[in-house]
Chains A and B, each alone.
Chain A
Amino acid sequence: MRSAGRLGLAALTALAVLSTGARAQEPYPARPITLVVPFPPGGVADLTARPVAAAMEKVLKSPVGVVNKTGAAGAVGMQFVATSKPDGYTLLLALSSISIIPEADKLFGRPPAFTVDQFAPIALISADPTILVVSADKPWRTAKDFIEDATRRPGQIAFSSSGVYGTLHMAMELFSHAAGIRLRHVPYAGAGPALTAILGGHVDALASGPAVVLPHIKSGKLRPLAGWGAARVAALPDVPTFKELGYPGAEFYIWAGLFAPRDTPPPALATLRASVSAAVGDPDFRAAMDKLETPVAFKQGEEFRKFFEADAKRLAEGVRQVGRVQTQ
């Protein structure tokens, strides 16, 4: 056993020497870049990240590898990037939930896994407004019907979500707060089960990205009532937005964006922004996003920062409005 200790000690010493030895100024990128996806393979984030990484590889002439670091609804991977070395070689592809998690941590008075200001935004890649769907066998034909009924029977209409304080939950809360109604929340473990629940008739309503529910709308099982976007969804031109209906507070997007740790050197950030900017124009990338039916919404620099901050503010308010789930 003694030799095990000595061995470990030797390894540790070697490690310390290596990590303190400062790297000389080198042209960026000189090594493979790691793009961390805090969700499992096959999810929206993962399916967005892979074509982005492939397109960036072409521009940067350096490998960009996607690594899935999953856990705690994305908090694990986000925390990993927030605390990783700000050298431009570790990037994060995050969804809207990046602004929700620290707020929820705050709500429960626990030390936050990370904070939003630990990240330097690089670029927004896609933004998909959620839409409100109900079971087709329910009587509500319009959002107005729905709101009137919900006002008459507070807490009786049930909706499913991808999880408490998850994106789909927040969308619904922003809407019910704006409309002044109270709905019954039945959280599920992920967007898939939430969709299964409404298809099985176990809940009445669901907020969801359009691509996922479109086939079920076409087959007549679900009915769209309204959208959370600033503009109508292209595939559903007859469905109004909540803004049009007079609820400007109900604005919500499921977006995907690239981030780096906050102290990443500006030249590296500039290189990354330029590469993403070129990447989103790449035809292979466009084709991949078309297949996912996810609209590309490229924003970078100041523009993305503004979008991100406004969104974060809206969501923070949303989380506070929901407050802690009442258990008494």
Chain B
Amino acid sequence: MVETLQNLALGFSVALTPGVIFYAFVGCVVGTLVGVLPGIGPLAGISLLLPATFGLDATRAIVMLAGIYYGAMYGGSTTSILMRIPGEAASVMTCIDGYAMARKGRAGAALAIAAVGSYVAGTVSVVALMFLAPPLAAFALRFGPPEYFALLVLGLLVLAYMSGGSMLKALAMAALGLLLGMIGIDQMTGYFRFAYGVVELGDGIGVVPVAVGLFGLAEILATAGLATPPAVIKPKLRELLPSRQEWRQSAWPIGRGTVLGFLIGIVPGSAHIISSFVSYAIERRLSKHPEEFGRGAVAGVAGPESANNSATSGAFVPMLALGVPSGPIPAVMLAAMMVHGVSPGPLLIKQQPELFWGFIASMYVGNVVLLILNLPLVGVFVNLLRVPYPVLYPSILVFCVLGVYAVNGSVVDVWIMLAMGALGYVLRKLDFETAPIVLGVILAPMIEMAFRQSLAMSDGQYAILVTRPIAGTLLAVGGVLALLGLKPLVARGLDWRARLALAGKGEERL
């Protein structure tokens, strides 16, 4: 404990030198700028800007990357809230209620809540990272394919709670998403599935083009031609900040999202993406007013944003403690360290304490810089809503294309985005929710891989899925959840879902 604090002091002595703070600041600004682009989230932002940091020394480069990462994360939620365009898969849930809030004139409040939620989640999870990294990392490594499978199935069950409307429609959309996720090379055998000779489909269809298409493009297609385009909103300074009631409503969601996100985040792999979906579902379940979700519930912004942020910090646990690239973002960070001659691994903490603790401290600094930077920026960003929609949407489209193209340098991704935009437009007309499709696309390859890896490990014995303690526990929890989900069918009476339908009846369709 004392040692940790001493080390942290060492870290801050590195992170608080003017040169380092400067790069943290530059990183945050650039990250925010790039993250504001539709389609570019933290991962794409870091990958795209990694080369720009090669010229710096190791500490500065890492600090700048941490800044870019946090900036991109925050920038992503900005476009989600203001334009309904997710910067990455995890901010899909923010789009729903964040954009609804913006249309009600509460864009400033949503942005501020997202910023504060991210700040709290980021800071708390770095503290957890510092004190708990070694034991948690050992635990995280026990997540093999069977545990992963169980976790993802649990995530899938959460779907049933995600939708506000009919559960059947949500499940059908999820199944559609899972099927879309089957496109590409089968990673266990090397067969091409449903690619029809398009080599670019080998890696499957990316989540980002799907999310940007289904949300951003579909939104534009549906609203640009309306006889009365979305009104220009002129935000007043007083309305920029969340009201006392909004603060109260988001306090618990931020807390829950932080813990939940961190726990899901430490699991190696890409499971951290589901944290925001799970958080949204939990908040809706716990809310006294579930009918507000989808119509601008502040908890629907606070929970997922916090969960997302702390999940990605949680992903650094195995990387820092063990030197294992435990997910896409840590992998890029590891690469950045290698470029600067820092060999990542279990000995990193001992051999280069100033770098390790400097990195931890710079995560604190990055969070603070972002808060300082972004709260005033809320006032700037909301002014985007002053731009008349006929001028705004063509620009958004350009940035959608730019963002989606730049990630892989692939025009096929742009075409996927277009196809998904058309699909999203039609589904919107038919009154279907599209978020379950995104979750399906994310989960399908992971669930299938984990399932078949488990069977490869056990030589075809299904018992491996339930006999390992963590996997068995997770599946048992899932079973209980499923039973609870069935309860209303048996017990009849009005559950929250039915109340919701009643409440929704009077309102006009958006």
A residues apposed to B, CB below 8 Å: 40-43, 46-47, 50, 66-73, 75-76, 79, 104, 107-108, 110-111, 113, 155, 158, 163-165, 184-189, 192-193, 195-197, 199-203, 211, 214-216, 218-219, 221, 288, 290-293, 324-325, 327
Contact = CB atoms under 8 A, between A and B. Distances in A.
Q: Looking at chain B, what size class is its interface with the partner chain?
A: 35 or more
A325 B186 CA distance: 11
A41 B188 contact: no
Nearest to B270: A189
Contacts of A216: 323, 345-346
B189 A185 contact: no
Contact of B188 (A46, A79, A187): A187
> Which 8 pairs between the two chains have the least Cβ-Cβ distance?
A72-B202, A215-B345, A42-B335, A202-B144, A192-B325, A291-B341, A200-B141, A325-B189
Contacts of A203: 457
15 contacts: A72-B184, A73-B185, A76-B410, A104-B190, A184-B456, A184-B457, A188-B453, A189-B187, A192-B326, A192-B331, A195-B325, A199-B324, A202-B145, A290-B341, A291-B340
Interface in B413-464: 449, 453, 456-457, 459
B143 interface: yes
Interface stretch (B6-14, B45-53, B163-171, B366-374): B45-53
B127 interface: no
Contact of A193 (B51, B191, B268, B338): B268
B344 interface: yes
Given A69-B408, A108-B192, A325-B189, A293 B343 contact: yes
Contacts of B268: 193, 196, 200
Given A73-B185, A189-B187, A195 B344 contact: no
Contacts of A292: 338-339
B339 A291 contact: yes
B199 A219 contact: no
Contacts of A200: 141-144, 268
Contact of A47 (B187, B189, B335): B335
B191 A187 contact: no
B144 A197 contact: yes
B390 interface: no
Given A184-B459, A186-B456, A189-B187, A215 B336 contact: no
Interface string B454-495: 001101000000000000000000000000000000000000
A76 B345 contact: no
A42 B141 contact: no
A3 B342 CA distance: 57
B345 A219 contact: yes
B464 to A, nearest CB: 11
Contacts of A219: 345-347
Interface in B290-338: 318, 322-326, 331-332, 334-336, 338
A69 B457 contact: no
Contacts of B335: 41-43, 46-47
B142 to A, nearest CB: 6
A294 to B, nearest CB: 10
B185 A72 contact: yes
Interface string B176-216: 00000000110111111000010111110000000000000
Contacts of A184: 456-457, 459
B409 interface: yes
A205 to B, nearest CB: 13
B190 A165 contact: yes
B206 to A, nearest CB: 9
B332 A325 contact: no
B54 interface: yes
Nearest to A104: B190
A131 to B, nearest CB: 16
Contacts of B453: 186-188
A130 B188 CA distance: 22
Query: In the complex, which of the residues A107, A202, A325 has the most CB atoms of chain B within 10 Å of its own CB atom?
Result: A202
Nearest to B449: A189
A218 B185 contact: no
A192 B344 CA distance: 12
Contacts of A199: 141, 322, 324
A164 B409 CA distance: 25
B324 A76 contact: no
A188 B325 CA distance: 13
Contacts of B51: 41, 50, 66
A208 B408 CA distance: 26
A214 B142 CA distance: 22
B324 A71 contact: no
Nearest to B54: A50
A216 B332 CA distance: 19
A41 to B, nearest CB: 4
A73 B186 CA distance: 12
A68 B409 contact: yes
B338 A75 contact: no
Contact of B410 (A41, A42, A71): A71
Contacts of B409: 67-70
Query: In the complex, which of the residues A69, A164, A165, A185 has the most CB atoms of chain B within 10 Å of its own CB atom?
Result: A164
Nearest to A68: B409
A192 B324 contact: yes
Nearest to A319: B190
A287 to B, nearest CB: 8
Given A68-B47, A201-B141, A202-B144, 16 more contacts: A41-B335, A69-B410, A70-B409, A71-B203, A73-B185, A76-B200, A111-B197, A164-B188, A184-B457, A184-B459, A192-B325, A196-B326, A203-B457, A215-B343, A292-B339, A325-B190
B199 A196 contact: no
Nearest to B410: A71
Contacts of A192: 324-326, 331
Contacts of A196: 141, 268, 318, 324-326
B187 A288 contact: no
